[in-house]
C-alpha cells in the first residue's frame, strides 16, 4: 500500500480540501489556521482501517492471527497480555507448557473471576482475564514454563514520517537518537501526550516499536530520555524514518485491495466535516467496496479441498 501521506493527498482531492493553512504556533500538535489538517485526516483514515479490519475478522476469523510466547515465573500468577490485541479483547487461545518445549503445550480453558484460587500451586489448568492481564490458576510452581497466547493483532496505526534519522547510538540498547530538522514535525513530536516513537524504513516496515522519550529539541533534532532495549535485530540506518506514537507505521499492513476503502472512508468524514452533501454518494460507494473486500478474504488459496462424505456406506 502507498505511503499514508499519498493517501491523504487522495482524500484531499476527493473531498476538495487541497487548501489548508498551518500557523506558527508551537503549543499544539498541528496549528491549523484554516482548512482540515493532516492529523485530523489521518485520524479519519485510521478509523477506516479499524472498521475494515473488524469487518474482515468478523467474517473470516483466521485473518490477523498471531502468537506470542511469555516466559513463566515460578509462583507468579499474573501476566500481561500483548497491548496490540485488537480492541483489547480478542484472545483466541492460551496454552501452557511446563517444560518450555513446543511439543508440551496444552490448551488452558478460560474461567470467570469467581474461579480464582490463589492458595493452590501446581501446573495451571485454566486462566482468567482481568484488566489486560492473564491469571494462571493454579499458580505455576515451575519457572521454566511458557505461555503461548494466540490473538487478533491490531494493524499498526498510520502516521506521517516525523523525521529521518541522522544519527543513532545502538549497542543493543538505543540510548541516543537524532533526526534531521529540515523535514521534521516538531509540533507533533513535542506536544503529543503519548511520547513514544517507532522506526521504519521507506516502505513502512517497522524496525523498532515503542521507543519512549521525554523531550525533543527542534533546533538540533536530538531526543532526550531514550534508553530502549532493542527487541528487533533489523539494522537501523540513516535511511530510516520515525513515526510518533505506539505501534505506528507509514504504510498500512492491510492488503492493497483495502487502500481504496481507507481513502473513501477518509473522504466521507472529510465531506461531512465540511457539511457537504456529496458524502452520501461517497458512502454508497464505500459500502460496495466494503462488501467486495470482505468477500475477497473468503477463500485465500486454490488448493483442492476434501469433500464431505454424507453416506459412509458408499466407501465400502
- Is residue 311 in some structural domain? no
Using CA atoms, how far apart are residues 25 and 244, in angstroms rounded to an integer? 19
CA distances (Å), 254 to each of 14, 61, 90, 156, 276, in order?
A: 22, 15, 18, 10, 29
Query: Residue 291 half-sphere exposure, CB side, CA atoms within 13 Å?
Result: 5
The partner residues of 212 in beta bridges, in order of sequence, read 196
Give me the chain's average pLDDT, please.
86
**pLDDT at 302 > cutoff 60:** no
- Is residue 207 in some structural domain? yes
Q: Quickly tell me which residue has 501446581 as its cell.
A: 122
Q: How many domains, the chain?
A: 2
Q: Are residues 185 and 243 part of one domain?
A: yes
Element (H, E) at 45: helix 38-59
Q: What percent of the chain is modeled with pLDDT above 90?
A: 56
Residue that finishes a domain, picked among 213, 231, 249: 249
Q: Are residues 175 and 95 part of one domain?
A: no
Q: Are residues 43 and 166 part of one domain?
A: yes
- What pLDDT does 60 receive? 85
- Is residue 293 in some structural domain? no
- What pLDDT does 311 receive? 55
- Is residue 277 in some structural domain? no
Least-confidence region, from 44-53, 130-139, 299-308: 299-308
**pLDDT at 249 > cutoff 60:** yes
Mean pLDDT value across residues 248-277: 90
Question: What confidence tier does 235 reach under pLDDT thresholds 50, 70, 90?
Answer: confident
CA distances (Å), 196 to each of 45, 71, 191, 247, 251, in order?
A: 21, 25, 12, 9, 18
- What pLDDT does 297 receive? 82
Q: Are residues 73 and 138 part of one domain?
A: yes
Q: Are residues 163 and 189 part of one domain?
A: yes
Mean pLDDT value across residues 191-216: 92
Residue that finishes a domain, picked among 223, 249, 275: 249
The residues near 224 (Cβ < 8 Å, ≥ 6 apart) are 213, 214, 215, 216, 217
Q: What is the DSSP letter of 192?
A: -
Kindly report, residue by residue over 164-181, the tens digit of the pLDDT.
999 999 888 999 999 999
Least-confidence region, from 220-229, 244-253, 269-278, 293-302: 293-302
Mean pLDDT value across residues 54-63: 86
Q: Are residues 17 and 163 part of one domain?
A: yes
To 10 degrees, what angle do helices 38-59 and 4-15 make? Answer: 100
Q: Is the pTM of this model over 0.95?
A: no
Q: Are residues 161 and 144 part of one domain?
A: no
**pLDDT at 109 > cutoff 80:** yes
Burial of residue 257 (CB within 10 Å: 0-12, 13-18, 19+) is middle
Kindly report, residue by residue over 3-41, the tens digit of the pLDDT.
999 999 999 998 888 777 666 656 566 656 566 788 889
Q: Are residues 191 and 110 part of one domain?
A: no
Query: Residue 208 half-sphere exposure, CB side, CA atoms within 13 Å?
Result: 24
Q: Are residues 229 and 189 part of one domain?
A: yes
Domain that holds residue 133: 65-152
Amino acid at each position: 500500500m502507498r505511503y499514508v501521506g499519498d493517501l491523504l493527498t487522495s482524500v484531499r482531492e476527493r473531498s476538495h480540501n487541497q487548501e489548508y493553512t498551518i500557523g506558527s504556533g508551537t503549543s499544539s500538535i498541528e496549528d491549523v489556521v484554516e482548512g482540515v489538517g493532516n492529523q485530523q485526516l489521518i485520524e479519519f483514515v485510521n478509523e477506516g482501517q479499524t472498521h475494515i479490519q473488524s469487518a474482515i475478522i468478523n467474517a473470516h476469523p483466521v485473518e490477523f492471527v498471531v502468537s506470542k510466547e511469555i516466559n513463566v515465573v515460578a509462583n507468579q500468577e499474573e501476566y500481561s497480555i500483548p497491548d496490540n490485541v485488537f480492541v483489547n479483547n480478542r484472545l483466541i487461545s492460551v496454552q501452557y507448557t511446563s517444560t518450555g518445549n513446543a511439543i508440551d503445550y496444552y490448551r488452558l480453558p478460560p474461567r470467570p473471576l469467581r474461579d480464582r484460587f490463589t492458595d493452590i500451586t501446581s501446573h495451571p489448568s485454566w486462566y482468567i482475564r482481568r484488566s489486560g492481564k492473564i491469571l494462571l490458576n493454579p499458580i505455576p510452581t515451575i519457572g521454566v514454563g511458557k505461555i503461548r497466547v494466540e490473538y487478533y493483532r491490531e494493524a499498526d496505526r498510520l502516521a506521517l514520517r516525523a523525521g529521518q534519522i541522522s544519527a543513532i547510538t545502538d549497542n543493543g540498547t538505543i540510548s541516543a537518537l537524532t533526526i534531521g530538522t529540515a523535514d521534521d514535525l516538531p509540533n507533533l513530536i513535542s506536544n503529543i501526550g503519548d511520547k513514544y516513537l517507532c522506526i521504519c524504513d521507506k516502505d513502512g516496515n517497522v524496525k523498532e516499536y515503542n521507543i519512549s522519550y521525554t523531550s525533543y529539541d527542534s533546533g538540533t533534532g536530538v531526543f532526550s530520555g531514550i534508553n530502549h532495549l532493542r527487541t528487533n535485530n533489523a539494522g537501523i540506518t540513516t535511511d530510516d524514518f520515525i513515526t510518533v506514537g505506539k505501534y505506528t507505521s507509514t504504510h498500512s499492513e492491510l492488503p492493497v485491495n483495502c487502500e481504496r476503502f481507507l481513502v473513501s472512508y477518509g473522504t466521507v468524514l472529510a465531506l461531512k466535516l465540511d457539511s457537504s452533501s456529496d458524502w452520501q454518494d461517497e458512502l454508497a460507494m464505500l459500502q460496495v467496496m466494503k462488501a467486495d473486500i470482505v468477500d475477497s478474504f473468503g477463500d485465500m488459496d486454490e488448493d483442492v479441498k476434501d469433500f464431505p462424505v454424507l453416506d459412509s456406506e458408499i466407501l465400502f
